[in-house]
Amino acid sequence: MANIEAIDLFCGVGGLTSGLTTSGIRVVAGIDIDKSCRFPFEANHPAARFVELDVAALTGQQLEAMWSSGTTRLLAGCAPCQPFSSYTRGKGVGHAKWGMLEQFARLVKETKPDLVTMENVPGLQRQEPFQLFLKTLKKCGFHVAYGVLNAADYGVPQQRKRLVLLASRHGPVTLPVPTHPGKEHWVTVRKAIEDLPKLQHGRTSKNDAIHRAASLSPLNLKRIRASKPGGTWRDWPQELVATCHTKESGKHSAGVYGRMTWDAPAPTMTTLCNGFGNGRFGHPKQNRAISLREAAIFQSFPQNYIFGEPGKDVSSKTVARLIGNAVPPKLAEAVGRQLLGAVR
């Protein structure tokens, strides 16, 4: 098997690193400007070095010093995707965000690694920054494959469509074949979280600091009690319906204030995935939103993955952001296995 060493740009809490490591790739460093990522990244990946640094300030020479000599070098990452997501499109997200893809391309040119992989939102493929990234790869001698994959097809208990790119200077490369192809093979909400301890809204499990559910207002508690798995706020008595949903602009917002269904994957986890009113994030049976631990499991993180330092309180908002922004480890694992096969 090839001896691949990876550097994870924009590593976040370590979802991509987790999956690559499980596949058999050694991740030597994770780089991110967000200091809240340091502890969870290092706690879960002690063999990798966390570098708190803006990727725009990172040089190819610094990267070269992180890889061992004689290894197959992989540069991996998920550049910030806000400018290309359906949620933020048209909200004025500027060059400072999409410019991170330019920095990724710059580092590819400076280091010319053997392999490159990138994960991002599907809308990126239609934008000029992605086309320029492709041109950079081809000029540097890479064979490239990319496409939109559904994470549910790779064992992630979540519907999450992502643009995935693999590139190799060793020869042609292809996208990973689904390990859980189609609805009959998808991992469901039931299989993922049914065995977790029951939890009331506003409470935290005594055995797991992030099996923690947000508090519900009296009105939202009435709303979730009136909600059906897979249903919408249209099922509620009229007095529970929010004023904004009675207006023309809100009539199509059926995906908020919803419960998940047991026998299908969860919806896409976002940075607000622990809030009942932010999507279909209601527990299928219990009268609460999903906990942070459940959100992490829906992203396919191991159930014992550490997100905060023991004895220190980490805000739910921070943990939800780290989870929602992560690359699903199971999807990353499929990518890692594909890259290992490409250089044998």
Q: Which sequence positions are flagged as catalytic?
A: 81
DSSP, collapsed to helix, strand or coil, labels residue 275 as coil
Q: CA–CA separation, 115 vs 72, rounded Å?
A: 8
CA distances from 141 to 60, 74, 116, 167 (A): 17, 15, 12, 9
Give the whole-angstrom CA distance, residue 283 versus residue 161: 22
- Phi, psi (degrees; rounded to nearest 5) at 93: -75, 125
266 secondary structure, DSSP code: B
Residues 6 or more apart in contact with residue 69 via CB below 8 angstroms: none
- HSE (side-chain half, CA atoms, 13 Å) at 169: 18
CA 108/CA 138 separation, integer angstroms: 11
> 259: which strand partners?
229, 282
- Measured on CA atoms in the order 260, 262, 266, 272, is the torsion positive or negative? positive
Structural contact between residues 202 and 224, judged by C-beta atoms closer than 8 angstroms: no
Kindly write down the DSSP assignment for every residue of 53-116, as one continuous string.
--GGG--HHHHHHHSPTTSEEEEEE----GGGSTTTTTS---HHHHHHHHHHHHHHHHH--SEE
Contact indicator for 112, 56 with CB cutoff of 8 Å = no
What lies within 8 Å, CB to CB, of 66 at 6+ separation is 7, 28, 29, 49
**Distance in angstroms between the alpha carbons of the first and the last residue of the chain:** 6
For 68, the token pair is 């061992």
For residues 106 and 89, give the distance between their C-alpha atoms in angstroms, rounded to a whole number: 25
